Amino acid sequence: MSSLSKSEIEDIREVFDLFDFWDGRDGMIDAVKVGDLLRCSGINPTIALCVKHGATLKQGEKQYKFDEFLPCYEAILKEKEDGTFADYMEAFKTFDREGQGIISAAEMRHILTSYGERLEDADVDNIVKYIDLHEDIDGNIKYEELIKKVMEGPPMK
3, 28 contact by CB (below 8 A): no
What's the pLDDT tens digit per position in 107-153? 888 988 888 778 889 888 888 787 777 888 998 888 898 888 877 76
Q: Which pLDDT score, from 0 to 100, does residue 68 have? A: 93
> Cα(132)–Cα(146) distance, rounded to whole angstroms?
9
Distances (CA, A) of 142 to 124, 134, 149: 16, 9, 11
List all residues 6 or more positions away from 29 whose beta carbon is below 8 Å from its beta carbon: 16, 19, 20, 23, 37, 63, 64, 69
Query: Are β-strands 28-30 and 63-65 bridged in parallel, bridged antiparallel, or unpaired?
Result: antiparallel
Which CATH number does 6-79 carry?
A: 1.10.238.10
Rounded Cα distance, 72 and 144, in Å:
34
| Residue 108 and residue 146 in contact, taking contact as beta carbons nearer than 8 Å | yes
Residue type, 14: E
pTM, 2 dp = 0.56
Rounded-to-integer distance, Cα 80 and Cα 59, Å:
23
More confident residue, 81 or 17: 17
Count of Cβ atoms closer than 10 Å to residue 16 Cβ: 24
Q: How far apart are CA 91 and CA 112, in angstroms?
A: 12
State pLDDT tens for residues 42-94: 787 888 889 999 999 999 999 999 999 999 999 988 887 667 788 888 888 88
The reply to whether 6-79 and 85-151 are identical in fold is yes
Domain boundaries, the chain: 6-79, 85-151
For residues 30-51, give the mean pLDDT.
87
Hey, what amino acid is at 3? S
User: Does residue 157 have a pLDDT over 60?
Assistant: no
Q: Which CATH superfamily is domain 85-151 in?
A: EF-hand (1.10.238.10)
